[in-house]
């Protein structure tokens, strides 16, 4: 089933698929962000992917030169045989934006809202991108890797300071990775 | 085994007002459980008949802070909730006490991140801290008995003054 599935997507969108693999029933395609909506409407209407599972994003800060920083990941499933597919698209830094899938899957609306507040990715066509879990005063995108790890944004004045309880290592880099604890250094 | 037998024919007893009032307060605490997270399950077992907080005169949860004597903060407090819990605290009538139940309410626990208040004592004053993830009912009783001891030792003017409850702007 699995190879066939990828084959169908490849046949229909030879120009849009950048990469695909299939391993232990785990089908993945990475597509061009411009064809995002077209690929999903093919998956829904012709390959019967009727179950929306998840939408999220990954921030690859400090990736190799030339590769886009963000990746949006969607998981779909079809009810008739339980087949699943993972679709990804890469988005570059500086106003990452992609088409909204709310016209195809209603369940996408809140996941896109959450993804927007956490990663700052704009979903064009989603009318309601208000914060879902965070409060309206919150500035910035907390799950981006360059959001300071000890930054706090209290809504009311607090009774004591909210400093980090563990001292910050002197050579900690901006996105929270501490080279002092890396494997290479220990050896 | 009523109080009549204990008094053994005496018609009156003499005591200090402070002692007597504090004694009455510590054995009839109405609680307001502010349950936000998984510690709530352990709080339920503390309340129910296997362990039974009713033995300490605190079996009566009031679901409005205006009728409660002490606030039990059970679980993680996020920055989004901080104004809510401060408002709940401000609505309680004096005398009032606060117990931080579980390590998240005490210090933020392992949630050292953008979303979590690093201990509810950053928002409201806390009397007793009960750490643990979650604390065993025995620990809760220990903390509760500490609160009772604290109430017994209080001065009567302690709750009249604004000093204890005055919060930051």
pLDDT at residue B153 greater than cutoff 80:
yes
From chain B, the residues in CB contact with A133 under 8 A are 80, 115
pLDDT at residue B70 greater than cutoff 60:
yes
Give percent of chain A with pLDDT exceeding 70. 84
Q: What is the mean pLDDT of residues B124-146?
A: 92
Give the pLDDT band of residue A2 (cuts 50, 70, 90).
low
Question: Pick from A150, A160, A164: which is nearest to B122 by CB?
Answer: A160
Residues 6+ apart with CB under 8 A from B11: none
Give the pLDDT band of residue B157 (cuts 50, 70, 90).
confident
Q: Which pLDDT score, from 0 to 100, does residue A182 have? A: 47
pLDDT at residue A174 greater than cutoff 90:
no
- Determine the Cα–Cα distance for residues A19 and A32; give it in Å rounded to an integer: 10
Q: How far is B10 from chain A (nearest CA, A)?
A: 51
Q: Which pLDDT score, from 0 to 100, does residue A159 have? A: 80
Q: Whats the size of chain B, residue-wise?
A: 169
- Indicate which of B103, B106, B118 best probes the interface with A, i.e. most A CBs within 10 Å of its own CB: B118
Q: What is the mean pLDDT of residues A126-146?
A: 91
Q: How far is B115 from chain A (nearest CA, A)?
A: 8
From chain B, the residues in CB contact with A152 under 8 A are 79, 114
Q: And the tokens for B26?
A: 């510590």
Could you tell me which chain B residue has the CA closest to the CA of A137?
A: B80
pLDDT at residue A168 greater than cutoff 50:
yes
Q: Could you give the ipTM of this predicted complex?
A: 0.73
- Determine the Cα–Cα distance for residues A79 and B88; give it in Å rounded to an integer: 46
Give the pLDDT band of residue A187 (cuts 50, 70, 90).
very low
Could you tell me which chain A residue has the CA closest to the CA of B121?
A: A159
The answer to whether residues A111 and A73 touch, using CB atoms and an 8 Å cutoff, is: no
Domain locations in chain B as residue ranges: 28-155
Q: Which pLDDT score, from 0 to 100, does residue A118 have? A: 94
Question: Pick from A142, A149, A155: which is nearest to B82 by CB?
Answer: A155
Q: And the tokens for B42?
A: 């352990």
- B107 near A CB under 8 A: yes
Domains parsed from chain A with CATH numbers: 2-148 (3.30.460.80)
Q: Which pLDDT score, from 0 to 100, does residue B129 have? A: 94
Q: Which pLDDT score, from 0 to 100, does residue A186 have? A: 42
Question: Pick from A147, A160, A164: which is nearest to B112 by CB?
Answer: A164
Topology, domain B28-155: Rossmann fold (3.40.50)
Give, in order, the Cα–Cα distances in Å from B153 to each of B19, B98, B142: 8, 16, 17
Average pLDDT of chain A? Answer: 84
Question: Pick from B80, B117, B168: which is nearest to A157 by CB?
Answer: B168
pLDDT tens for each residue of B77-133:
999 999 999 999 989 887 889 999 999 999 888 888 899 998 898 899 899 999 999
Give percent of chain B with pLDDT exceeding 90. 52
């Amino acid at each position: 089933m699995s190879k066939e599935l990828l084959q169908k997507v490849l046949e229909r969108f030879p120009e849009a698929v950048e990469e695909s693999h299939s391993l232990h029933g785990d089908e993945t395609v990475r597509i061009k962000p411009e064809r995002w909506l077209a690929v999903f409407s093919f998956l829904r209407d012709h390959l019967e992917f009727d179950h929306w599972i998840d939408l999220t994003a990954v921030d690859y800060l400090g990736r190799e030169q030339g590769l886009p920083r963000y990746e949006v990941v969607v998981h779909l499933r079809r009810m008739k045989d339980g087949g699943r597919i993972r679709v990804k698209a890469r988005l570059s830094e500086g106003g990452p934006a992609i088409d909204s899938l709310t016209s195809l899957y209603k369940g996408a609306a809140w996941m896109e809202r959450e993804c927007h507040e956490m990663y700052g990715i704009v979903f064009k066509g989603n009318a309601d991108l208000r914060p879902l879990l965070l409060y309206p005063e919150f500035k910035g995108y907390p799950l981006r890797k360059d959001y300071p790890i000890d930054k706090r944004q209290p809504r009311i004045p607090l009774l004591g300071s909210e400093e980090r309880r563990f001292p910050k290592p002197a050579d900690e880099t901006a996105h929270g990775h501490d080279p002092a604890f890396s494997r290479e250094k220990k050896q | 085994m009523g109080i009549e037998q204990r008094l053994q024919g005496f018609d009156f007893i003499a005591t200090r007002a402070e002692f007597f009032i504090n004694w009455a307060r510590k054995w009839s605490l109405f609680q307001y459980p502010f349950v936000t997270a998984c510690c709530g399950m352990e709080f339920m077992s503390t309340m129910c008949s296997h362990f039974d907080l009713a033995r300490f005169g605190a079996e009566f949860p009031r679901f409005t802070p205006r009728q409660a004597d002490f606030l039990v903060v059970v679980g993680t407090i996020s920055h989004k909730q901080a104004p809510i819990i401060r408002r709940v605290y401000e609505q309680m009538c004096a005398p009032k006490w606060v117990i931080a139940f579980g390590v998240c309410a005490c210090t933020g626990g392992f949630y050292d991140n953008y979303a979590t208040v690093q201990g509810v004592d950053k928002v409201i004053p806390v009397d007793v801290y009960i750490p643990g993830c979650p604390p065993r009912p025995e620990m809760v009783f220990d903390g509760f008995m500490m609160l009772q001891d604290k109430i017994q030792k209080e001065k009567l003017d302690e709750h009249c003054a604004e000093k204890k409850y005055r919060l930051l702007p």
